């Protein structure tokens, strides 16, 4: 299905990019500080692009997704032409904007296809992302080991992404623009709900980003794991994340209220076990439990948002607000690591499960 393909090629870049970063740093002669500064341009570009794209894309989901996918492919290929730190920062700013636009339009389009077809899609579309990351990262590492230039890998991936956009005209969506609400108060209520649900989803994404960024370091420096063993931690998390989403897709629909409890309790227990567990097996088990229990919640939230608001405003708002979790996560973990150390800092993220448990406690039935 085209939506799954778009999610997958989007993830192919991000999985490969993590494996290519050491080569990018070496080829451009960057210091760690320069590379970090350049990478910070990604969220700086993404957030305003998400806010603007959501406003423009509602009712034009298919065309907007085609444009965002093609633009993302071009920005990926454009990274191959970078020759210095300032060029890299500028290119990553554009890349972040294109990625943010792709994020919002993919969610808006998936939501509209769900409404028009009656099919459940969010879980399987979002499951394609971690699967592709798991596959793409080692393949990019293999390409590096075979002497393939970083620019060549980026151009190939960019062409793959752009080619995927050509599959979208056949997507049966976008038959007319949804009618906007005539009541301004309705829009205010939607944005209030988007802020609440986006914040809850952001709690999940803070933990997800922390596992992706810090799990290898935890195992190498605090569990005496070998580099090979430690490098498996993000894959363990991603595999469990995928399993949770596939299970949520294939099993009978689980009430959203129940998913709040599963994600809050299971995610908190999992990240605490990963941080404070006494050895590699316990930490790996903690990462797996975290991914398995957190995985289904964000797609389920987006699916509910799409069903409850045909205008797309709620999906747009939840997507944009939740993305701040990726921005906050590195700063939060780094700030906690200073006084408490990395194991405690990761375990402390379990406190972010409390808002999810609280949401379970205050709502009834299957309401969001």
Which domains does the chain possess?
2-170 (1.20.1250.20), 184-362 (1.20.1250.20)
Q: For residue 179, what pLDDT is reported?
A: 47
CA 88 to chain centre: 22
- Alpha-carbon distance of 112 to 309, in angstroms, equals 10
HSE-up (13 A, CA, CB side) for residue 282: 13
- Alpha-carbon distance of 277 to 225, in angstroms, equals 13
Q: For residue 169, what pLDDT is reported?
A: 85
Burial (CB count within 10 angstroms: exposed 0-12, middle 13-18, buried 19+), residue 81: exposed
- Which pair of tokens denotes residue 4? 């799954």
CA distances from 254 to 122, 244, 245, 259 (A): 14, 12, 12, 7
Q: For residue 247, what pLDDT is reported?
A: 94
The pair phi, psi for residue 172, each rounded to 5°, is -80, 80
Q: Under a CB-based contact definition with an 8 Å cutoff, are residues 54 and 108 in contact? A: yes
CA-based radius of gyration for the chain:
20
Q: Under a CB-based contact definition with an 8 Å cutoff, are residues 195 and 313 in contact? A: no
Buried b (16+ CB within 10 A) or exposed e, 255-265: ebbebbbbbbb
3-state secondary structure of 147: coil
Q: Quick one: DSSP state of residue 165?
A: G
- Alpha-carbon distance of 362 to 156, in angstroms, equals 49
Average pLDDT by stretches of 10, the chain with 368 residues: 91 86 83 79 91 87 92 95 90 94 93 87 91 86 85 93 89 60 64 93 94 86 84 89 94 91 96 92 96 96 90 91 90 89 94 96 67
pTM, full prediction: 0.86
| Contacts of 16 by beta carbon, 8 Å cutoff, 6+ apart | 136, 137, 139, 140, 153, 157
Element (H, E) at 181: none
- Which pair of tokens denotes residue 169? 């005209």
Q: For residue 259, what pLDDT is reported?
A: 95
Q: What is the DSSP string of 282-324?
A: HHHHHHHHHHHHHTTHHHHHHHHHHHH-TTSHHHHHHHHHHHH
Q: For residue 173, what pLDDT is reported?
A: 73
Q: For residue 175, what pLDDT is reported?
A: 56
Q: For residue 184, what pLDDT is reported?
A: 55
């Amino acid at each position: 299905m085209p939506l799954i393909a778009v999610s997958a090629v989007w993830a192919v870049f991000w999985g490969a990019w993590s494996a290519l970063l050491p080569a990018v740093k070496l080829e451009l002669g960057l210091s760690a500080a320069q590379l970090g500064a350049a990478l910070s341009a990604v969220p700086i570009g993404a957030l305003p692009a998400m806010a603007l794209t959501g406003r423009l894309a509602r009712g034009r989901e298919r065309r907007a997704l085609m444009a965002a996918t093609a633009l993302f492919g071009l920005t990926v290929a454009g990274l191959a032409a970078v020759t210095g730190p300032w060029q890299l920062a500028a290119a990553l700013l554009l890349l972040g904007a294109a990625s943010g636009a792709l994020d919002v339009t993919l969610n808006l389009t998936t939501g509209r296809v769900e409404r028009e077809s009656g099919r459940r899609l969010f879980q399987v579309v979002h499951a394609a992302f971690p699967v592709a990351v798991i596959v793409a990262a080692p393949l990019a590492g293999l390409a590096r080991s075979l002497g393939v230039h970083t620019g060549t890998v980026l151009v190939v991936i960019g062409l793959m992404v752009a080619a995927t956009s050509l599959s979208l005209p056949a997507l049966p969506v976008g038959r007319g623009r949804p009618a906007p609400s005539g009541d301004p108060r309705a829009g205010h209520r939607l944005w209030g709900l988007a802020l609440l649900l986006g914040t809850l989803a952001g709690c999940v994404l803070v933990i997800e980003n922390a596992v992706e960024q810090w799990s290898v370091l935890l195992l190498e420096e605090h569990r005496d794991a070998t580099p090979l063993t430690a490098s498996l931690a993000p894959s363990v998390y991603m595999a469990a994340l995928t399993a949770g989403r596939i299970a949520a897709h294939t099993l009978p629909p689980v009430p959203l209220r129940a998913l709040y409890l599963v994600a809050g309790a299971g995610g908190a227990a999992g990240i605490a076990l990963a941080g404070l567990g006494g050895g590699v097996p316990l930490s790996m088990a903690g990462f797996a439990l975290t991914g398995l229990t957190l995985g289904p919640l964000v797609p389920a939230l987006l699916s509910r948002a799409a069903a409850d608001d045909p205008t797309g405003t709620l999906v747009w708002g939840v997507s944009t607000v939740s993305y701040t979790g990726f921005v906050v996560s590195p700063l939060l973990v780094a700030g906690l690591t200073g006084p408490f150390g990395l194991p405690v800092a990761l375990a402390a993220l379990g406190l972010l499960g409390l808002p999810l448990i609280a949401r379970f406690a205050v709502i009834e039935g299957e309401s969001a």
